[in-house]
Chains A and B, each alone.
Chain A
């Protein structure tokens, strides 16, 4: 089969995986090397598909042949799709070619399982090895590991890859049993635990090496510190399919929260179940719940950056589901009005972060500015945030909302209306956030010498 035909099959088969990020690796370039590639921390989206998703990596399967029969998967044994298989060398060539054209940040390689889990994993590791060792490739590599592959292979994979992921697939064990009977929830958790452990070991070694000072004997050649072996510096991530089984949002967030805490996962991706060609009969026949997926991402942000616990995000009386009409932070504020208004001049950071419409960056700015003077309504306008939302919940030197307005049963409707009038934009994960440019802590430089 021609390479172009394989590419179209094996990229098509990989498109249901939501992960795309190429971030989390700092300061690597090809200066002084023989190959190419760099990574400057935040990842770059080189293109966008008409589905709005970022194209950052060459996301393909090594093969879509599979000995398993997971119901939600287009590559399952019983599916009628056309099959193909890349050789390791072909994947390496494609990655280098796309990279040279500046189309991608690197490779995201996944695979159906052929022969055995170990055999498949070995092939994937070989691709990563060849890129790193034969071609001195310093771009991003993300390997989707196979949970029941041997731990030695897992250990090897992490030496070449920037990120490893193991898909949890479904939020509950029952869901997994029902839709992916050959997969074992315990094994998935064990493999995640192994990866987390390897990452920790590599980190500790790096740290203790940096701390150890080197004493050279007089006249001896300068001793160079051996580099600590790196292991998946971009951390570990996973993906959960949303809407293929009947798990509630509460169950999903609980599982995520457990993963962030238990295995220090960098990201959990939520992938709205997508209808697939030749679908299995026990799957829902419906368009993917994209809005639900979006709300889950917002809720996930609240857990990771805003100090919310998973239990409080899904409100009592909602049957475990997030509000589709308003974002989770606003929904929480509306249900907990006794805590508002928050005084922007006095309240601690945790409470500023709970104000609907105030993001992490805005909060930073407000905290900084209020050190020098008191905050006024005009300052809020400078932030260009969703002012309508914010104003309902805050107090400023020259602005005091009326209690009656805050307690009014009409508040939700009013806010919805006002938000519809202004455009509320959603941020994309791959976008660089602007620096505030102001920090009391950064070193002070003279305007005049060596900026």
Chain B
């Protein structure tokens, strides 16, 4: 079906003057700003803006600095800036009446997750799929469509990262952070996610530890729970998080003891706990020693 811009109504006249340039730049507030994306997509779809005519860019988390690699080639940059729009500004445009686009609940959450992925083109991909869906509603059920499969692939990777973050964040008490109101020290963790998942992953910790002050620091941004609300803050470095404390020895002891040397399966372990997570997992320092000793220990058990 060919898309034609309506030109009869005043609304679309006003809108099409904004859109007369070859392409539009939409500025999102965060690398994982799905709500902004959604807001912009709504307007763009109503105006039937074709996917290749939209460029998405997003701010570095919690700063207003544009992400350098997302600006186009230097010669283009000048012409781009004048036409860059935020989703809010886009909202101001008068819109021609349009059919709302309907999708399944889980499709929405898949897309939301996909937008946490590190891939540059994630927003463009999602918009392209929505645009195609608007043209052909049968796409909604096509579980094997290649754009949709790609969105799912991104969502799966981001979802896995969130899951791994829930699993592998390790809190340590920060000495001296006890307050008169709260005698417990704050618990702090350092984590290095590959995708933009900190915000998406934080709710879990809030539901799990509402009565404990905790913080998770990552290179891109940090989150802090003060017993009442989640606060976002700029990124940190590893040395801003506390080092091992005495209590951690108990955990290392447990890890060492619960391993059965007669069942060594290193590959199975690495599949679920990839090496990229090891440097921030206290118990990972024991792995090589346990692996090295496994054969001898098993043999001794078999000999007796």
Contacts and interface: CB of A to CB of B under 8 A. Distances in A.
Interface of A: 3-4, 7-9, 11-12, 14-16, 29-38, 40, 44-55, 58-60, 94, 97-98, 100-103, 272, 274-279, 285-288, 290, 365, 368-369, 371-373, 375, 379, 382-383, 425-426, 428, 430-432, 434-440, 442-449, 451
Given A49-B255, A101-B171, A382-B146, A435 B42 contact: no
B192 interface: no
A434 B302 contact: no
A48 B273 CA distance: 7
B53 interface: no
B171 A102 contact: yes
Given A52-B268, A443-B105, A368 B141 contact: yes
Given A47-B281, A49-B259, A51-B269, 8 more contacts: A29-B207, A31-B206, A37-B208, A52-B271, A102-B169, A445-B103, A447-B103, A447-B130
A259 to B, nearest CB: 24
B262 A274 contact: yes
B28 interface: no
A427 B272 CA distance: 10
Contacts of B141: 368-369, 371-372, 438, 440
Interface in B262-304: 262-269, 271-273, 281, 283, 287, 290-291, 294, 298, 300-302, 304
Interface residues of B, number: 87
Interface stretch (B13-21, B81-89, B155-163, B175-183): B155-163
A279 B303 CA distance: 10
23 contacts: A16-B260, A33-B211, A40-B207, A48-B272, A52-B268, A53-B263, A55-B255, A100-B187, A274-B263, A277-B300, A287-B262, A287-B302, A288-B262, A290-B265, A426-B268, A434-B156, A435-B106, A435-B109, A436-B152, A437-B109, A442-B105, A443-B105, A451-B112
Contacts of B263: 51-53, 272, 274, 288, 290
A36 B152 contact: no
A345 B100 CA distance: 33
A15 B258 contact: yes
A445 B172 contact: no
A38 to B, nearest CB: 4
Nearest 3 Cβ contacts at the A-B interface: A52-B268, A437-B110, A52-B265
B135 interface: no
B102 A382 contact: no
B248 to A, nearest CB: 8
B230 to A, nearest CB: 13
A447 B100 contact: yes
A50 B100 contact: no
Contacts, number: 246
Q: For B156, B171, B263, B268, which residue has the most chain A Cβ atoms within 10 angstroms?
A: B263
Interface string B205-232: 1111111100000000000000000000
Q: For A7, A45, A98, A448, which residue has the most chain B Cβ atoms within 10 angstroms?
A: A448
B269 A34 contact: no
B143 A445 contact: no
Given A4-B250, A431-B272, A15 B302 contact: no
Contacts of B256: 8
Given A38-B208, A50-B294, A442-B106, A448 B304 contact: no
B251 A103 contact: yes
A11 B258 contact: yes
A31 B265 CA distance: 39
Interface string B123-160: 00000001000000010111110101101100110011
Contacts of A50: 259, 264-266, 269, 287, 290-291, 294
B108 interface: yes
B257 A12 contact: yes
Contacts of A425: 271
A288 B262 CA distance: 7
Given A52-B267, A437-B155, A98 B254 contact: yes
B138 A451 contact: no
A330 to B, nearest CB: 21
B251 A48 contact: no
B211 A446 contact: no
Nearest to B283: A47
B198 interface: no
B298 A49 contact: no
Interface in B74-112: 100-110, 112
B52 interface: no
Nearest to A32: B210
A288 B104 CA distance: 47
Nearest to A46: B167
A48 B264 CA distance: 12
Contacts of A51: 259-261, 263-265, 268-269
Given A438-B104, A447-B130, A55 B258 contact: yes
Contacts of B163: 44, 432
A406 B107 CA distance: 39
